Structure 1
């Protein structure tokens, strides 16, 4: 049975626009007032079919307008931008533009300034937890290819504070420590020397290069670094910390690229080799040159995901350290709230 006031008519003006643009209640909200399951399902299917039909018609109309504009040499109508969690994120007071004078002035005097002014080239020391497994050694061999200016030292039972002091005395610029639990690599610690800061990341979704289909082997060339979507003050600080691990003069001849892509505060690490090649333009819509230049990628590995847990002022100190930022569960109040 259908409650009084609801209508099954296709011409019902109280229903939301079938194009699904968000005007009025959704189809599910409109049909939820019907108690009879069969009637509710029938009405839902009818409205859903009508919505899909309208969307298809609108899509064809936009496609025809775009083709017509291209034939006449006019600019095609602007593409509609779908709503995503990223572009509807909550406004953050710490969001900064690339040309923000105040932020640029602060960064000229921060702990990474000497690196970006080419006064202190990167010299990275990599170590692990106390008893690394075979998986860790395989992972380290691939990470040493990612960082051409890095060296590995065995932990050998030394506490982390002594390793930090050892690295600083031997003029290493950064210390990277990988941790594992039950043969699963689960954390990464980055200490910028000699004065910090220190960042702790949770590491997950690791896939070694040998497990990636069609993977390649890295060369000894210095890679390019790509940092995406580090838009807040905290994000820029984390991005500068990653950049301090790589040389400022990449060898473009090697065609290697290392990417740290931030999306919803998850940092995706990827390592690729790219190549540009000419291919025939098989598109029927365009009457341009017969050959177009396209980029092709080959993943080298490894790949993994990082999640920032804390940033500490100075070098590593688990007891008396002062933290700049710590992630807590009560900070996750909304799916659209991000910090990087």
Structure 2
């Protein structure tokens, strides 16, 4: 494409605006043929969308390489002032040796100080930061021993202060209370109080009052889920030995609602369903009859009787019941539901005790036998100076425990009104992940 001469431009000369540092400039400069110039102008024409070209310059003028700036002669540097040389007085050989020795002593002192600091840092190093197993165990044992010695020293000082206060007839200093998650729990409005008349009135009218008042004897039906494992029956057998008047019925293909109807017709007071998953019992469903409620517990940390070291065998006596830390309204209701599984007239001759201990909403189950024994202890009695001390015997009553098993932990998942109903049942309480936002919030 040629530019017409009528436009005021010189015909036969290609015009455009080219920058010397652009790749197109190098393309045209390397081979300034007519084809390359045509392709170059057509490319710019297409980029501008067919609009007229701006103010342009002839290529032969623009393609000239830029002239470098003229080199100026270097300016001479200012002469630096010449300072007069300072001569030091000559030193003797003994003086030089003395100075070198003091420098060596300073370096040795600094090195010793550095080594001591490193040793202190190594002693203060945590065992978890040591990779060598033998060194890590040695450091851990050393720290444990130091803590034990410090604890004993503090205990001796505290005993001496208490003894001195008793001799002077003063009150001994109060022992410090350790800060734990339990005594720093969040305030809960539903915590039961000993003077709560509404709570006692509700206990007289709830679903468990007839059993807890010994108006009705508890009778428990124990069954399994449809697909139970080999460890499930062993756990059920031990539950039958723990809960008096408990009966096992095979589940088969029966629906749970039909089992509830059957238990109501046979005058059962409760149903326990042991759910298994991957050949391991993992949940308990406790249904109160005839009108509920239904509690769903997660079962964990199951240890059977045969796996407990030095275990004992339980007798057929009715056990004593111990319930700890069921302080809220919900915990009180769950505790009464579990309490309704057992008869309320324990036989103290059997010395059996069943414990349900609630701690941080985990219910720990333990089954023990206990015995009282008298133990004689000899204490020296002073009879004055120069005489031997005579031994004085004292008898102390101690209690010994023997675990009978099983051992497991329960975690409440839901509490439902009435008997088991997955479709139309109303829930009193359900556990949700949004509730676990604080470690100091408990619901039981």
TM range (shorter): 0.7 to 0.9
TM-score between both structures, scaled by the size of structure 2: 0.63
Partner Cα separation in structure 2 for residue 100 and residue 64 of structure 1: 44
- Counterpart position of 1:34: none
Which residue among 226, 244, 250 is the counterpart of 1:148? 244
> Counterparts of 1:1-340 in structure 2 under 5 Å?
42=121, 45=124, 59-69=155-165, 76-281=172-377, 290-340=394-444
Partner Cα separation in structure 1 for residue 188 and residue 253 of structure 2: 43
Q: CA deviation at 1:75?
A: 5.2
Q: CA deviation at 1:118?
A: 1.2
In angstroms, what is the RMSD of aligned CA positions? 2.7
Note the alpha carbon deviations across 1:55-102, whole angstroms, 9 max, x for none. 876554322112334566765433221111011110100001234211
Kept in 1, the 8 Å contact 2:361–2:442? The answer is yes
Q: CA deviation at 1:135?
A: 1.0
Partner Cα separation in structure 1 for residue 364 and residue 411 of structure 2: 9
The SS at the match of 1:80 is coil
Where structure 2 has 5 or more consecutive residues not aligned to the other structure, the ranges are 1-116, 126-142, 381-390
Q: Against the structure 1 CA distance between its residues 152 and 57, is the aligned structure 2 distance closer, same or farther, given a 3 Å change threshold?
A: closer
Partner Cα separation in structure 1 for residue 395 and residue 169 of structure 2: 21
TM-score between both structures, scaled by the size of structure 1: 0.81
Stretch deviating more after TM superposition (191-200 or 153-162)? 153-162
Q: Against the structure 1 CA distance between its residues 109 and 61, is the aligned structure 2 distance closer, same or farther, given a 3 Å change threshold?
A: same
Kindly indicate whether structure 1 or structure 2 has the higher relative contact order, using CA contacts under 8 Å at least 6 residues apart: 1
Partner Cα separation in structure 2 for residue 206 and residue 300 of structure 1: 14
Higher share of residues assigned helix: 2
Where structure 1 has 5 or more consecutive residues not aligned to the other structure, the ranges are 1-37
Give the number of the structure whose alpha-carbon radius of gyration is greater: 2
Note the alpha carbon deviations across 1:17-53, whole angstroms, 9 max, x for none. xxxxxxxxxxxxxxxxxxxxx99x859949x9xxx89
Stretch deviating more after TM superposition (92-101 or 75-84)? 75-84
